[in-house]
């Protein structure tokens, strides 16, 4: 047995989270694409079958009350809250990340008030955030200015209304400094919206602790909510009364069943709701969140760093020099739970990896992405992935 294989065995044997893998439906594929679509939690199929067959099929309309459908967006928000360091009552689930970015950014600009007419957006963002920020700017009379996250502090000024940032870069896996950037935005009198898609469920976020204003995120990556499962919106408690939604659907009304012609916003996080919640997807997500029972995010972070460290070590030993280039920062403080490697023929290499049972993904034009979900990825998986990568690049 090679040195790395035996190292993997030792790491797996000492892994306190190893047993969590049994909470998922997995096979002998090394699944390193949980940063795109999390694996299926074992409890989800039975729960979904109950929602469809009994709650919808038998109780039908009564389920809006009796099965807790109506309150699902805020109830599930409260399940996500501890995973991102938020007290209850500040998160609602629903709509896509894109739609929530629009709500949050427009609301942030409105909070900033007159005289502040510029939105800063992460220039390296997953594109949808930039597209939506452009629309939010256009519709609120703001200018949009793309800047690299590291340049945000120097770009802030009296005109800055809002700043949209990614906690972890989708492409490189770089972790940005949420506490420092949030403090810088606040020092300039502006509001910050954090996109947590690539960090929630993989590392501690500390929304409350760091005084974040607004945040959004998807639930189908490290939260394992299923394909296209609804996103969420965090509005810090003391800002909720000033949250002025551009999508004031009836679910956000103070009296949704009053059928009032005039809009009056609800109190609290509920103000972030829009239309009728998507129950099947939402309750699948609720069941998926059961896998977090008794799992501290800090332990997840520790294992995540150990996994990515070990992957970098294995890649360093197995893959011929110069064949791939590391895009993810080596420093722990700057690394999310993904490793991105630049590779000229990344598309072809990823095809060969997948054929050989190692599933990551390819991002145009030349990036191999490998996501490490600490709940179900082990160190032997990591060693195998690097070994197969070495074969695939030859």
Q: Scan for tokens 């991105």, then name that residue.
A: 340
Exposure of 244 in the CB half-sphere (CA atoms within 13 A): 9
**Of residues 92, 99, 142, 193, which one binds a second copy by CB under 8 A?**
99
Q: How far is CA 192 from the centre of its chain?
A: 17
Smallest gap, in angstroms, from Cβ of residue 296 to a second copy? 26
Q: Based on CB atoms, which residue is closest to a second copy, 240 or 252?
A: 252
**Is residue 338 within 8 Å of 173, Cβ to Cβ?**
yes
Tell me the C-alpha distance between 312 and 74, whole Å. 40
Q: Which residues contact 377 (CB under 8 A, 6 or more apart)?
A: 30, 31, 32, 34, 307
Between β-strands 338-342 and 325-326, what pairing exists: parallel, antiparallel or unpaired? antiparallel
Smallest gap, in angstroms, from Cβ of residue 16 to a second copy? 26
**Of residues 17, 137, 184, 231, which one binds a second copy by CB under 8 A?**
231
Question: Which of 333, 334, 341 is CA-nearest to residue 311?
Answer: 341
Q: Scan for tokens 């996994």, then name that residue.
A: 307
**Of residues 1, 13, 259, 331, which one binds a second copy by CB under 8 A?**
259
**Is residue 369 within 8 Å of 362, Cβ to Cβ?**
yes
Beta strands in the chain (DSSP E): 30-31, 91-93, 118-122, 143-147, 160-166, 191-195, 214-217, 232-235, 325-326, 338-342, 358-359, 361-363, 367-371
Q: Please report whether residue 230 would count as binding a second copy according to CB under 8 A.
A: yes
Between β-strands 338-342 and 191-195, what pairing exists: parallel, antiparallel or unpaired? unpaired
Q: Based on CB atoms, which residue is closest to a second copy, 45 or 296?
A: 45
Tell me the C-alpha distance between 273 and 262, whole Å. 17
Binding piece for a second copy, criterion CB under 8 A, among 139-147, 177-185, 205-213, 332-340: 139-147
Between β-strands 191-195 and 160-166, what pairing exists: parallel, antiparallel or unpaired? parallel
Smallest gap, in angstroms, from Cβ of residue 173 to a second copy? 15
Q: Based on CB atoms, which residue is closest to a second copy, 126 or 318?
A: 126
Q: Please report whether residue 57 would count as binding a second copy according to CB under 8 A.
A: yes
- Binding pattern for the stretch 260-299 against a second copy, x by CB under 8 A and - elsewhere: xx-x----------xxxxxxxxx-x---------------
Q: Please report whether residue 249 would count as binding a second copy according to CB under 8 A.
A: yes
First-residue to last-residue Cα distance in the chain: 22
Binding piece for a second copy, criterion CB under 8 A, among 184-192, 198-206, 254-262, 336-344: 254-262
Reduce the DSSP state of residue 269 to 3 states and report it. helix
Tell me the C-alpha distance between 140 and 122, whole Å. 19
Which residues are catalytic, by number? Answer: 126, 195, 220-221, 369
Q: Please report whether residue 58 would count as binding a second copy according to CB under 8 A.
A: yes
Q: Based on CB atoms, which residue is closest to a second copy, 187 or 264?
A: 264
Smallest gap, in angstroms, from Cβ of residue 264 to a second copy? 10
Tell me the C-alpha distance between 346 and 366, whole Å. 5
**Of residues 359, 368, 377, 386, which one binds a second copy by CB under 8 A?**
359
Smallest gap, in angstroms, from Cβ of residue 67 to a second copy? 9
Q: Please report whether residue 222 would count as binding a second copy according to CB under 8 A.
A: no
Q: Please report whether residue 208 would count as binding a second copy according to CB under 8 A.
A: no
Binding piece for a second copy, criterion CB under 8 A, among 177-185, 233-241, 256-264, 385-393: 256-264
**Of residues 140, 166, 199, 337, which one binds a second copy by CB under 8 A?**
140
Q: Please report whether residue 361 would count as binding a second copy according to CB under 8 A.
A: yes
Residue ranges of the binding site for pyridoxal 5'-phosphate? 97-98, 126-129, 195, 198, 220, 250, 276
Q: Please report whether residue 144 would count as binding a second copy according to CB under 8 A.
A: no
Q: Please, which of residues 307-336 interact with a second copy by CB under 8 A? A: none
Tokens representing 348 are 């072809």
Count H helices and E strands in the chain, helices first.
12, 13
**Of residues 7, 18, 43, 64, which one binds a second copy by CB under 8 A?**
64
CA distances from 55 to 46, 93, 279, 365 (A): 13, 20, 10, 46
Q: Based on CB atoms, which residue is closest to a second copy, 188 or 359?
A: 359
Q: Please, which of residues 113-132 interact with a second copy by CB under 8 A? A: 123, 126-128, 130-132
Q: Based on CB atoms, which residue is closest to a second copy, 182 or 245?
A: 245
Q: Please report whether residue 166 would count as binding a second copy according to CB under 8 A.
A: no
């Amino acid at each position: 047995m090679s040195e790395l294989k035996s190292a993997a065995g030792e790491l797996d044997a000492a892994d306190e989270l190893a047993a969590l893998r049994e909470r998922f439906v997995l096979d002998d594929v090394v699944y390193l694409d949980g940063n795109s679509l999390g694996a299926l939690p074992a409890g989800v199929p039975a729960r979904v079958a109950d929602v469809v067959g009994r709650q919808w099929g038998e109780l039908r309309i009564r389920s809006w009350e009796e099965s807790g459908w109506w309150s699902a967006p805020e109830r599930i928000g409260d399940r996500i809250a501890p995973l991102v360091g938020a007290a209850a009552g500040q998160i609602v689930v629903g709509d896509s990340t894109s739609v929530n970015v629009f709500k949050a950014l427009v609301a942030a600009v409105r909070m900033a008030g007159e005289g502040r007419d510029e939105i800063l957006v992460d220039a390296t963002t997953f594109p949808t955030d930039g597209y939506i920020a452009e629309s939010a700017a256009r519709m609120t009379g703001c200018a949009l200015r793309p800047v690299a996250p590291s340049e945000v502090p120097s770009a802030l000024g009296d005109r800055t209304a809002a700043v949209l940032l990614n906690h972890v870069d989708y492409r490189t896996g770089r972790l940005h400094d949420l506490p420092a950037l949030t403090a810088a935005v606040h020092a300039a009198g502006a509001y910050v919206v954090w996109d947590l898609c690539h960090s929630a469920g993989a590392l501690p976020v500390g929304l409350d602790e760091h005084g974040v204003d607004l945040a959004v995120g998807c639930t189908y990556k490290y939260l394992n909510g299923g394909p296209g499962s609804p996103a969420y919106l965090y509005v810090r408690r003391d800002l909720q009364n000033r949250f002025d939604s551009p999508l004031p659907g009836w679910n956000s009304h103070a009296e949704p069943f009053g059928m009032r012609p005039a809009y009056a916003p609800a109190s609290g996080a509920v103000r972030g709701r829009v239309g009728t919640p998507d129950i099947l997807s939402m309750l699948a997500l609720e069941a998926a969140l059961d896998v977090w029972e008794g799992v501290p995010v800090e332990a997840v972070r520790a294992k995540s760093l150990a996994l990515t460290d070990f992957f970098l070590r294995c890649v360093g030993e197995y893959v011929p020099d110069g064949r791939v280039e590391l895009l993810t920062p080596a420093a722990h403080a700057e690394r999310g739970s993904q490793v991105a490697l630049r590779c000229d023929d990344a598309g072809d290499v990823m095809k060969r990896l997948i054929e050989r049972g190692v599933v990551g993904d390819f991002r145009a034009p030349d990036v191999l992405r490998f996501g490490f979900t600490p709940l179900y990825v082990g160190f032997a998986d990591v060693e195998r992935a690097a070994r197969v990568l070495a074969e695939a690049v030859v």
